């Protein structure tokens, strides 16, 4: 991703409502659907600056894989151990060696997403789990996606198709960021209309969704609304939302 997006993720990791809300939802889903929650071998593929590694560490030994050298160095400077420099196309792991692999908003950056999911499936032990999260709906592809170096957005059906093609059994598949979606949708469509009028932004002119950071009570209210989805996402799968989460299992 662009330096702007990377720095915002690092700076706002503990405070921004979107980052806190999605983290709360991700770990609630893992707590709900992982049959074993201790002593696992875990890898976060595309770990970026390592924002998810502290949460993953509560399930066992958590490692990170990152293709960008500066990001991998940044993880190590922040005290994270077990950081591997490498590509999702060629995981530096033996087959059948991991209990849990996560791809948190990673495969939308990768040209051959199915190849990466197949690699993750091969690295999982029989009965191991894979969690994937992605942005939803190609018609919402906008400047934020370009700045973040996204290649595409997904539907739930498309993500399920990729998991099944990799030989995995789907345990949970749902849209999320549902409650705020009625506010997010018109805002993105309005921004896309403005982009169509003014043309593409030049280098360094862009803003990400994290650029619109509200401090204080507004941030706390948005965090609470987003995080409240934990109350129903563990029990039901939503048919729409701004993003998608999928948990799959390797047969065996």
Q: Across-strand partners of 129? A: 100, 249
d(CA 97, CA 48): 22
The CA–CA distances, whole Å, from 235 to 66, 226, 230 equal 33, 16, 9
For residue 72, CA distances in Å to 33, 67, 196 come to 29, 8, 36
Contact 135, 242 (CB under 8 A): yes
- Give rounded-to-5 percent helix, strand, coil for the chain: 45, 20, 35
CA 110 – CA 208 distance, rounded (Å): 19
CA distance 99 to 106: 19
Q: Say if residue 201's pLDDT is above 60.
A: no
HSE toward the beta carbon, residue 170, CA cutoff 13 A: 17
Residue in the structure block whose two tokens are 């948990």: 247
Distance CA(233)–CA(163), nearest Å, equals: 20
Q: Which residue has the higher pLDDT, 171 or 75?
A: 171
With a cut of 80, say whether residue 199 has pLDDT above it: no
CA atoms within 13 A on the CB side of 27: 15
Give 44's strand partners. Answer: 64, 102
Distance, in Å, from the CA atom of 7 to the CA atom of 164, rounded to the nearest integer, reads 35
Distance CA 55, CA 51 (A): 8
Least confident stretch, 37-51, 142-156, 187-201, 226-240: 187-201
CA distance 197 to 67: 36
Q: Give the lowest-confidence range in 27-31, 143-147, 231-235.
A: 143-147
Verdict on whether the full-model pTM lies above 0.85 = yes
pLDDT at 209: 55
Residue whose pair of structure tokens reads 């692999």 in the numeric block: 101
Of the candidate ranges 13-22, 164-173, 194-203, the one whose mean pLDDT is the lowest: 194-203
User: Which residue bears the tokens 């993105």?
Assistant: 188
């Amino acid at each position: 991703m662009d330096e702007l997006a990377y720095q915002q993720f690092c700076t706002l990791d503990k405070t921004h409502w979107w980052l806190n809300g999605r983290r709360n939802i991700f770990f609630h889903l893992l707590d709900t659907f992982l049959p074993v929650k201790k002593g696992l071998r875990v890898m976060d593929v595309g770990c970026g600056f390592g924002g998810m590694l502290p949460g993953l560490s509560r399930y066992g030994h958590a490692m990170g894989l990152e293709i960008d050298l500066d990001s991998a160095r940044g993880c190590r400077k922040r005290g994270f151990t077990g950081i591997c420099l490498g590509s999702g196309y060629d995981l530096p792991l033996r087959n059948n060696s991991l209990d849990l692999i996560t791809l948190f908003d990673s495969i939308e950056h990768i040209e051959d997403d199915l190849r990466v999911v197949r690699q993750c499936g091969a690295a999982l032990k029989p009965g191991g789990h894979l969690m994937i999260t992605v942005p939803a709906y190609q018609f919402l592809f906008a400047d934020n996606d370009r700045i973040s170096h996204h290649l595409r957005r997904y539907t739930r059906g498309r993500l399920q198709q990729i998991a099944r093609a990799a030989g995995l059994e789907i345990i949970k598949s749902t849209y999320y960021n549902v409650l705020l979606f009625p506010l997010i949708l018109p805002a993105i469509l309005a921004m896309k209309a403005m982009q169509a009028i003014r043309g593409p932004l030049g280098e360094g002119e862009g803003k990400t969704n994290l650029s619109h950071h509200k401090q204080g009570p507004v941030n706390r209210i948005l965090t609470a609304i987003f995080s409240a989805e934990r109350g129903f996402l563990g029990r039901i799968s939503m048919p729409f939302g701004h993003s998608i989460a999928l948990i799959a299992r390797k047969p065996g």
